[in-house]
Amino acid sequence: MSRPLYRVLNATLQGYTLVAFWVFIAMFLLAFVSMFVFPPLSIMLVFVGLFGLFGAWAGHRVLGLVVGRIARLLLGGGMCPACGETGVESPPCQCAACGGRFGPEGLQMREEATPASPAAMP
């Protein structure tokens, strides 16, 4: 598998939840307006939203599995999926060049903000 495909799919995965959130907000606004204009549409949108919730969850899950599989294939070949540097071990691992951390499923782990230690506080 190629690294450009990984980068496109990984970027899609990173923005997936925010896009899904805004799609559901837009559907809510459309349903609210149609409640006064064309009530059957708002009833239909309730069911579309309920089944769409499962669809959004399933789509995110499938995309995560695909991205993880491609990342594991690249890491298995010794290549970092994030920066293309060679000499990376199989997951879970961290790339020495870009600092990208990859979990056991091959998904890149996000950097989490470390809370300030109590000793550093005045």
As a whole number of angstroms, the distance between CA 121 and CA 81 comes to 38
As a whole number of angstroms, the distance between CA 73 and CA 26 comes to 38
For residue 67, the minimal CB distance to Zn ion (Å) is 15
As a whole number of angstroms, the distance between CA 10 and CA 69 comes to 11
Report the residue number, 48 or 73, with the smaller CB distance to Zn ion.
Answer: 73
For residue 87, the minimal CB distance to Zn ion (Å) is 10
> Could you list the residues that contact Zn ion (CB under 5 A)?
80, 82-83, 85, 95, 97-98, 100
Report the residue number, 45 or 81, with the smaller CB distance to Zn ion.
Answer: 81
Place of tokens 């599995």: 65
Report the residue number, 45 or 71, with the smaller CB distance to Zn ion.
Answer: 71
